[in-house]
Structure 1
Amino acid sequence: MSRKILIINTGGTLSAVMKKNGLIPGLSIHDMQKELKMVSGDTDIEIEDFCSVDSANIFPEDWCALAQKISDCRNDYDGIVVIHGTDTLAYTSSMLSFMLRNINIPVVITGSQLSITNPVADAMENCRCAIHMAASQIPGIFVAFNRKVILGCRASKVRSLSFDAFESINYPNIATISSLGMKIETAAVPERTGIFKLANTYSDKVCMIKMFPGIHRSFIESIAEQGYKGLYIEAYGIGGMPFLKHDFIGALDKVIQNGMTVVVGTQCRYEGTKMDVYETGKRAMAIGALEARDMTGEAALTKLMWILGMTEDIKEIRDFYSINMAGEMSKI
């Protein structure tokens, strides 16, 4: 019995065409139907356009609508593939991991570094991988790219030009494709922890900043003045921030006391934070900052947006953030 797969197109490079001002998404899903059927094997595919945009133009409201669409369709298909631009793909796969937690089918996001119209493109291979992962009957949110499958909340774009654009951060690949076929590491797939219930709310009052030598505490004050409720900081190393000349941690103390949720991550791609080692990290934890641990920046940010969309209760926020919801963080 062949699997029934829905392919949803949101645009991106995979569907791009050259126009006067450069490459833009221009192919509809029906324009790509022949190529998609070539790589679908014995699966029964249906295709649908959701939108057609460069992924730089994907916003949280699009995540909300896409999650609703996937939720509505989940019982009619064995799996779903989402075609998406690469620039914000990891943010989308992370947020869908939370909004669609415990979904009962595979949802696989993919894209490409070259348009499907280019004869040397990676597009068809990425679609082939995504379609067959969607037919695997292994539920969850995944990213398929360059002959590997990554857990959605562990994916990050690490190269801007290479076909090997995405890596799984601090977590093993879910599957790889070689001359032996697709090998799925079932032990790496997070177990469903409950029934599925769509949770596609979010807060748009979340900000992200990156530490740099010379950053001033006025950044924090201005963010609070603009009404932001959450802040994700890419700190140094395992969670370092200044507390001497410009008392950044002191400024964080004030906004946390006034109700803002602050999460501290790291600028380092791998291995995550460990804020109980140095004085600077211990100071941040003492004032109530939360620790991103080994989450990707994309997962840490979207998780904060998602939680603040569900509750404003400080204790509930802290509890939610400290729990591994979708495989986004390792056990302590």
Structure 2
Amino acid sequence: MKKKILLIATGGTIASRNSGNGLTPLIRAEEILSYIPDVYEICSPAAVQICNIDSTNMEPKHWKMLTEAVKDHYDEYDGFVIAHGTDTMAYTGAALSYMIQNSSKPIVITGAQKSIDLEITDAKINLLDSFRYAADEQSQGVQIVFGGKVIAGTRARKIRSKSYNAFDSIDFPFLAMIQDGRIMRYIPAIPYEEPVAFYEKMNDNIFLMKLIPGISPKGLWFLFEQYDAIIVESFGVGGIPASISDMFYEMYESHPEKVIIMATQVTHEGSDMTVYEVGNKIKKECRFLESYDMTLEAVIAKTMWLLANKATGKSDIDQLFYRKINYDLIFNVFSD
């Protein structure tokens, strides 16, 4: 019997047509299926539409809608394919990795760089690959399938704005490749020991502070007053420059309940605040969390998730932040 796979459409380039002012999502879920008749040889598909937006407008409320759609139909279907715009796809992949955990059924996110109604497009092959992966017996959890690559939801990043090979897996192998209709797995799926868990709350009251040379301390007081967590996107392996270090420490002392996370602007190899004095000193004084080898998209989504769902105190937050979920963290934080 063919697997039952549900297409959940959200809009994006894959569903766009030219409106006269540029591309905008206009193609609905059922019409998307009509462009890939070969899908009926792979599985028994169905489709629902939860929104029809450019992924630039994707917000945590839409992640909640996606989570609810999967939860509501979880017992009816063997897998799910989410059609999504590419610009924020990595954020959604990370967010759903935390909002839908331990899923024995695959939740595959895909999209395209060209609309599905064009003669030359990557949309059809990406969709067919996604349905093929979702219908495979060995697939599970939240993944992104794009350009023949299967990427863990927490490890994806859009690295090209126009090319078909738009996505890469950051500091982690592809889970599989799909070529000529065949799935070649590099990392075998390990069955989850716990049942699927759905989390529908996300706390988006966080701020990403990108450091630039000569950054001014003006506004730090506002960030500490207004936000529950501050993610510092630092240079290199991580540190706080002298131009803001005194004010940063003063604000932290006044707001010890705030969650402060050190990330890096560098794509590969992650953070390590112990390397330089600019990082080591303030980490001891301010109890920074570190992203280590996590992607920035995963850090942002995980922070939203843990603040909303589990955290009861600073020690609880520390333990949750470093709990490995869907391959998001390889570094062994508690090795000592």
TM-score, normalised to structure 1, is: 0.94
- The Cα offsets for residues 46-91 of structure 1, whole Å up to 9 and x where unpaired, read as 1111110001111111111211111121121111000000111111
Check conservation: 2:232, 2:263, Cα contact below 8 A. yes
Which of 265, 272, 276 pairs up with 1:278?
A: 276
Match of residue 267 from structure 2: 269
Deviates more, 1:235-244 or 1:144-153: 235-244
For residues 247 and 89 of structure 1, the distance between their equivalents in structure 2, rounded to whole angstroms, comes to 37
How far 1:139 sits from its partner (Å)? 1.2
* 1:228 paired residue number: 227
> In the alignment, what sits opposite 2:242?
243
How far does the alpha carbon of each residue in 1:176-230 deviate from its partner, in whole angstroms, 9 at most, with x for none? 123582202234x4652522221121112111121111212233211122x2101
Paired with 2:157 and 2:219, the residues of 1 have a C-alpha distance of 27
Counterpart residue identity of residue 167, structure 1: D
- Amino acid across the alignment from 1:232: I
Match of 2:295 in 1: 296
Q: Which residue identity is paired with 2:133?
A: M
Aligned CA distance change for structure 1 residues 282 and 204 (closer, same or farther; 3 Å): same
SS at match of 1:49: strand
| TM-score, normalised by the number of residues in structure 2 | 0.93
Match runs of 1:136-215 below 5 Å? 136-137=136-137, 138-179=139-180, 181-187=182-188, 189=189, 192-215=192-215
Q: Distance in 2 between matches of 1:191 and 1:251?
A: 47
CA displacement at 1:42 relative to structure 2: 2.8
Deviations 1:96-136 (A, max 9, x none): 00010111200000000000011111000110111111112
Amino acid at match of 2:128: R
Overall identity of the aligned pairs, in %? 32
1:54, 1:224 → 2: CA distance? Answer: 32
- Structure 1 residues 91 and 255, CA, compared in 2 at 3 Å: closer, same or farther? farther
CA distance in 1, matches of 2:72, 2:322: 30
Conserved 8 A contact 2:98-2:305: yes
SS in 2 for 1:218: coil
- 1:127 matched residue in structure 2: 127
Change (3 A) 1:7 1:179: closer
8 Å contact 2:214–2:243 — kept in the other structure?
Answer: no
Contact 2:224-2:251 at 8 Å conserved across structures = no
How many residues of Structure 1 are paired with residues of Structure 2 in the alignment?
Answer: 329
Q: CA 1:293/1:252 → structure 2, altered by over 3 Å: closer, same or farther?
A: farther
- Aligned-partner Cα distance in 1 for 2:136–2:60: 29
The corresponding residue for 2:101 is 101
Cα 1:180–1:16 change in 2 (3 A) is closer
Quick one: structure 1 residues 118 and 180, their matched pair in 2 at CA, closer, same or farther if it must change by over 3 Å? closer
1:110/1:251 Cα in 2 relative to 1: closer, same or farther (>3 Å)? farther
Per the TM alignment, residue 301 of structure 1 is displaced from its structure 2 partner at its CA by 0.5
- Residues in 2 aligned to 1:190 and 1:300: alpha-carbon distance in whole angstroms: 24
Measured on the aligned residues, the alpha-carbon RMSD in Å equals 1.7
Does the C-alpha gap of structure 1 residues 158 and 219 become closer, same or farther in structure 2, counting only changes over 3 Å? farther
Q: Which residues of structure 1 form unaligned runs of 5+?
A: none
- Structure 2 gaps of 5+ residues are none
- How many Å separate the matches in 2 of 1:115 and 1:317? 42
**What stretches of structure 1 move > 6 A for 4+ residues in a row?**
none
**8 Å Cα contact 1:5/1:78 also seen in 2:** yes
The match for 1:22 is 22
Deviation at 1:284, TM superposition (A): 3.2
User: CA–CA distance in 2 between the matches of 1:252 and 1:134?
Assistant: 48
- Residues 38, 251 of structure 1: alpha-carbon distance in 2 compared, 3 angstrom cutoff: farther
Deviation per residue, 1:144-195 (Å, 9 max, x gap): 10011100111111111111111101110011123582202234x4652522
Question: What is the one-letter code of the residue matched to 1:59?
Answer: E
Whether contact under 8 Å (1:220, 1:251) holds in the other structure is no
2:94 and 2:47 map into 1 onto residues whose CA distance is 23
Say if 1:165 and 1:58 are closer, same or farther in 2 by CA, change over 3 A: same
